[in-house]
Structure 1
């Protein structure tokens, strides 16, 4: 059985790599670089960030692949499975990855440190909950291929899973209605509140509406949920441990809040664009109105009246006449603004700034070319070492 778990850490990429590479936890033959040399992995990952000017934000992603102690598995075989796991996931393509296998505990486990910036595209590494589940499914497939046990999971509502057989049976009885578990009730309430919230405050309110008090402060290490009816307490960390779900962490909850907020903002943005387009359309129609106030899109009845009055005196302006006076005023203002901009550009200090900006851009291009050469040299050395 191999379990995939995401680790939330604020450590630097150098600290993370040095930690997973400690001699008391692993050995040289159990350390591998995918698209990087394990000896120079830190420098290569930093160079990639420098190349694409993406040195801020999340520096890396950290995943752990843990194996069941009851499975007969050597560290070397676990390391091999770790390599297969990376190569069989297109999500990791183009990312420098350090893989280490730890054998210092009863259960053998792999660590994956993944550079947040893709060296081929410059894009950052992001994982949705569906992609995370796909990783777990791929790990389960590899477990089957290598004769290892595979965790079972429930297909009931709530998407709550367990990789422990005893806990799985408790969950099964709960969903069948033959037994109740306050831990599962709490987990389902958290899932429901998480999907509706865009902030910690929203989440606490949603949990309150479901009958739970939530202790979540910056000064407390743990988030605790209290059922107001029974007084039962459940820690968020207990839910994460029980169901092996990274969404049951502070970081997991916060990430889901941000995704929900982003979806809502994109939805509001689309409506806002539509309303602005309507405003532009109205302004366009006003600009093209005739002196009689009619626009281009006249109703059929008015067109009939126009055709019927052609033999009479045509005192009014035709409906599709362009408002020349308004157009001339618009052109005059535009010309005036362009003249002022051109005057500013012709000043000595403006010319100096333009030259300095061009020099800075040329220096940046030179630095990028040098970084590209460094990365390519490191990649070549890595390919030679793996032959």
Structure 2
């Protein structure tokens, strides 16, 4: 079973050529020094280009492996196409030890010749440094035949996969018959693994909550709507989609896992006991206890302007100490804001430190920070000019210490200026989110019986 991938390389093609030709990765660890020397002696007598597969499993097609970088550049210069994408890098990975290094290299060379061997210069290298034998194929982006550039497109990616699969079938190797398609991005995978909220696990939680209290699909839709989700459950569509609050891009429910396909959601909803409806009604009609205690929210409501806005937002996120909220009980529009808790906390501290209540106060602070930044930067530049001259060591050390302190001041000033700019850009969205939370909370109280 071979998996293929192709990507564009910009900059210097020598970097990719040096990587794939690294002897530590391509060396056949099964050969002794005597065997490698004997093989090298045989290859030295060979003049046929097809014999250029050396003990390091590297092969040049329409070029020499050792001089591939120069030959790539000569082709580009001859057609005056030296900028942009300099080469393509195709990877072909096999399942474990399904193939020997020799056979894997033969497959890589055969595939490269069939795909690009008639027009492009190519270097094929087989790496043995991982648990999966894999080929790296680097080819020039400019054709040595007509000077035309290689066209990177989806059709070419599909053609690479088709040729690779056909060659594997011809050699009785396994092939992935039904590729899964796109998977969850690696960054989201790492965040979910670390337990951080993402739009995917937040959507899973919202769907699970809605399914658990629904006895039919209409109730399920209603529960999603309460949580601020948009949905598209058109029966003529192959996939169901949901759009989290605050997002414009929809998520296919089947991307969330095997239990979130259209068929599985319907099965989970219809398998609920009719008593879930009564549980939901009881939960909505439950009256809350009221205590006349001084709370942190009372202190926050005593503030005004931007300071009050950001303190209230941190409170709703459960970030303020001693009054942490359960993330499961957060409003739907706030769950993904947990990712920015530290940022909102720093911004709230900044607003409280300088008593910034209005946008005019924020602009004045930004103007002051900009002036301070320019002044500190000018002083640091003067000291750096002095350090270029020869002077006693004590005086040199003194100036360097001053430069270090000014650099630290610049860093703090730059950080505050960035926070101020972020406050100016985010305050509108923060205010709209709070209005949504308060409106939904008020609507929920109005539904409760007296």
Q: State the TM-score, normalized to the length of structure 1.
A: 0.41
Q: State the TM-score, normalized to the length of structure 2.
A: 0.35
**Greater RCO, CA 8 A, separation 6+:** 1
